[in-house]
Chains A and B, each alone.
Chain A
Amino acid sequence: MSKNNTQAAEKKSFIQKIFSMTDSNLLFMITITVFVLMYAGAVIFQGKGFLKPQTFFNILNTNAALIILSCGLSLVMITGGIDISVGGVTALVSMCCAVHLDYKGGSVGGAILIALCIGIAFGLVQGYLVAYLDIQPFIVTLAGMFFARGMTTIVNSAPFNVANEQFMKLKDTRITVPGMGSYNKKGIYVNAYVEIGVIVALLIVILMFIMLKWTKLGRQFYAVGGNPQSALMLGINVRFTRFMSQFLCGVLAGIGGFVYFLHVGSGSASHASGAEMNAIASSIIGGTMLTGGVGNIGGTLFGVLALSTIQNIVSSAGLDQAWWTGITIAAMLCIFLVIQSVVVSRKKKALSN
């Protein structure tokens, strides 16, 4: 009898624990659960393809750029803003780099510099307009997105593949992951590999995680996003903080653009179309709240993985018509937005009680 009671008490405390979690942790937990369930479901229903480590690494390879872009968006969204120009910046960066490498005979180092400069320029202008002129971030970055897409066409209208040797060498560099290989149908051992972009992406995830968790600027992002007025009263430079978040997002978009370019190896005006959408969706699925002040870079990483896993499931289930991807992403985004909205309203009720 008493044993039952203690068990009940333990259960209750577990549920209470879940409900008394901070929003950040709660949403983070939801994301990880969803990702694990999804991947497990994929392994069970879609056969053994998903069990191979290389399938997982391929998800990383194709989405390295998206991880970087999503990190940038998480920073901005934690601070209470938004940036939808990242997809356009990615396209612009890849086109400029491609033209630099092939038509101007430039070096890879120059291309990296160009990518960084474009990112910094977008970050500076958009950050200034949003933070110091108080213009709605959505309008500013919408204009930024159209500007970047238009500029991409002005730079070069026809899509083309890059043939620069130095660059192709870098593009084809594969880093083997020890102990993760598998035997193919002929019984030959194939090493599992990741591309350079993945290393860059993971480095950025770690850096951003540290920045958000333990540096003054990172904590200021949360404070400003949570409540700008009380942040101001605490002596935080709200304008500068918002500027920094928008600026960092621009820089990360530049880096992400180069990683994207490294993966696809071509320049085109239609590159990364809808990337801003996927990045926002990943951040939201990863537990970053649109209203600001809540978010986690680890969650963002899992958000990207969850999103691309569902895309993989959709395509391997035979629903490879292009429209299913759009519909599934939108559906996931919709569900997570509603979850967030419910969490917020529940919290408000709890506060008023």
Chain B
Amino acid sequence: MKNKGISAIFRNQIFIPLAALLLLAVFNLVADPEFFKITLGYNAAGNPVLSGYLMTILDYGSELAILAVGMTFVTAASGGQDISVGAAIAIAGSVILRVLCGRDSRPETLRTSFLVAFLVACVVAALFGAFNGLLVSVFKIQPMVATLILFTAGRSVAAWINNNELPIISDPRFAYYGGFIPGIPVPTPFFIAIAVVIVTFLLLKFTNLGLYIQAVGINQKSSRLNGLNPTAIKFLAFVLLGLCVAVAGLIKVSRLSTINYSVIAKDIEMDAILAVALGGNALGGGKFNMTASILGAYVIQFLTTTLYKFNVQSDALPAYKAIVVILLVVFSAPTVREWFKNVWKKIVPAKTAKEVA
């Protein structure tokens, strides 16, 4: 009876990110307990601000969690990943600045409200998502190769939108989305992430979207025979990712109040894919667990922050993360799992035989 309970925990998808989180937490606790210290200070504007490594994780992990939501949909529906999210974030951010500033790169007054700029960015990002979706669903190109097009062109398009200028927004209210709202010491991206997650769960709870996406991901032919439209569902998944990208783009440009086309959201596609993989979701499509993906995103940020704390250069980070990815995919590969099962079987019967004797 007890054994059954334990194996159920092991089999639960959420076990993988939780175990990784625990491992990282214990590691940091042993290495330096200061890691968990949170201090209440005041920022330059005199507003109360919580700071500390955990707050950094909460802050930067949130934009990753938003992307992980969209990436989970795309992965589950199409069986591939979108590698253009970083470039698409650059486009969305560039659009926001273009709408707010117009042709003037140092505007005294902003052209429109933040909401209008954000909505325009949403439409543009959704359109680029639709472009990817079109290539994948209608032209049946492998998702990763199809998104490679936007991956190359995206940052160029972003620079072209603003005529290669770097507009700066001086209005302090614009910085609220990626920083702190006066009087609230918790970083705003966290609240935005919560809002996105709530919308996602409502969507999954009250519509059949989740079921349809899984059905298409597991077997496209049989889902079509059951009256679903796989082309439309895949297309929809990419559009949803586009919307998530727009939200992440808002947070990214708000952090700096400006944009750097070649650096903004660099390598974030790797982190987003990693979050989905760490959540135990099959990268080949099919079933997915949204909670695990979101938790996975925060675990990835935990790892990044830990590496930063040990003075790893930001350019060298990918090397360490790549090792984590390889370990993850190796241990989740069916051949390796089978091998472990066989080894386990060899050990377990030996034990029971001894007990009987």
Chain A residues proximal to chain B, CB less than 8 Å: 82, 129, 132-136, 138-140, 142-147, 149-151, 153-154, 157, 269, 274, 277, 280-281, 290, 321-327, 329-331, 333-334, 337-338, 341, 344-345
Residues of B contacting A290 in the complex (Cβ-Cβ under 8 angstroms): 141-142, 145
B316 x A153 contact (CB < 8 A): yes
- New contact pairs (13) apart from A136-B329, A139-B273, CB-CB < 8 Å: A132-B335, A135-B330, A138-B142, A140-B326, A143-B329, A146-B267, A146-B319, A147-B323, A150-B321, A153-B313, A330-B153, A333-B148, A341-B141
Q: How many A-B residue pairs have CB under 8 A?
A: 133
Chain B residues proximal to chain A, CB less than 8 Å: 80-81, 83, 135, 139-142, 144-146, 148-153, 155-157, 159-160, 164, 267, 270, 273, 277, 283-284, 313, 315-323, 325-326, 329-330, 333-336
B330 x A146 contact (CB < 8 A): no
Residues of A contacting B160 in the complex (Cβ-Cβ under 8 angstroms): 323, 327
A331 x B153 contact (CB < 8 A): yes
A150 x B155 contact (CB < 8 A): no
B318 x A149 contact (CB < 8 A): yes
Residues of B contacting A334 in the complex (Cβ-Cβ under 8 angstroms): 135, 149
- Residue from B153, B157, B321 whose CB has the most chain A CB atoms within 10 Å: B153
A134 x B333 contact (CB < 8 A): yes
Chain B residue nearest in CB terms to A273: B262
Residues of A contacting B322 in the complex (Cβ-Cβ under 8 angstroms): 143-147, 150
CB distance from B103 to the nearest CB of A (A): 17
Residues of B contacting A329 in the complex (Cβ-Cβ under 8 angstroms): 152-153
Residues of A contacting B318 in the complex (Cβ-Cβ under 8 angstroms): 146-147, 149-150
Residues of A contacting B325 in the complex (Cβ-Cβ under 8 angstroms): 139, 142-143, 146
Contacts known (A337-B145, A337-B149); A154 close to B316, Cβ less than 8 A = yes
Residues of B contacting A144 in the complex (Cβ-Cβ under 8 angstroms): 322
Contacts known (A136-B284, A327-B156); A341 close to B315, Cβ less than 8 A = no
B335 x A134 contact (CB < 8 A): yes
Residues of B contacting A269 in the complex (Cβ-Cβ under 8 angstroms): 315
Determine the distance from Cα of A318 to Cα of B318 in the docked complex, in whole angstroms.
Answer: 36
B334 x A323 contact (CB < 8 A): no
Determine the distance from Cα of A139 to Cα of B273 in the docked complex, in whole angstroms.
Answer: 9
Contacts known (A129-B330, A142-B83, A331-B153); A150 close to B316, Cβ less than 8 A = yes
A139 x B319 contact (CB < 8 A): no
Determine the distance from Cα of A28 to Cα of B216 in the docked complex, in whole angstroms.
Answer: 35
Residues of B contacting A134 in the complex (Cβ-Cβ under 8 angstroms): 333-335
Chain A residue nearest in CB terms to B324: A143
CB distance from B189 to the nearest CB of A (A): 24
Contacts known (A135-B330, A138-B144, A150-B320); A321 close to B164, Cβ less than 8 A = yes
Residues of B contacting A136 in the complex (Cβ-Cβ under 8 angstroms): 283-284, 329
Determine the distance from Cα of A337 to Cα of B143 in the docked complex, in whole angstroms.
Answer: 12
Determine the distance from Cα of A324 to Cα of B135 in the docked complex, in whole angstroms.
Answer: 22
Determine the distance from Cα of A163 to Cα of B222 in the docked complex, in whole angstroms.
Answer: 63
Residues of A contacting B315 in the complex (Cβ-Cβ under 8 angstroms): 149-150, 153, 157, 269
- Residue from A145, A153, A325 whose CB has the most chain B CB atoms within 10 Å: A153
Contacts known (A133-B333, A153-B313, A341-B141); A147 close to B156, Cβ less than 8 A = no
CB distance from A79 to the nearest CB of B (A): 15
Residues of B contacting A325 in the complex (Cβ-Cβ under 8 angstroms): 156
Determine the distance from Cα of A135 to Cα of B330 in the docked complex, in whole angstroms.
Answer: 7
CB distance from B266 to the nearest CB of A (A): 11
A82 x B139 contact (CB < 8 A): no
Residues of B contacting A140 in the complex (Cβ-Cβ under 8 angstroms): 326, 329
CB distance from B46 to the nearest CB of A (A): 38
CB distance from A78 to the nearest CB of B (A): 15
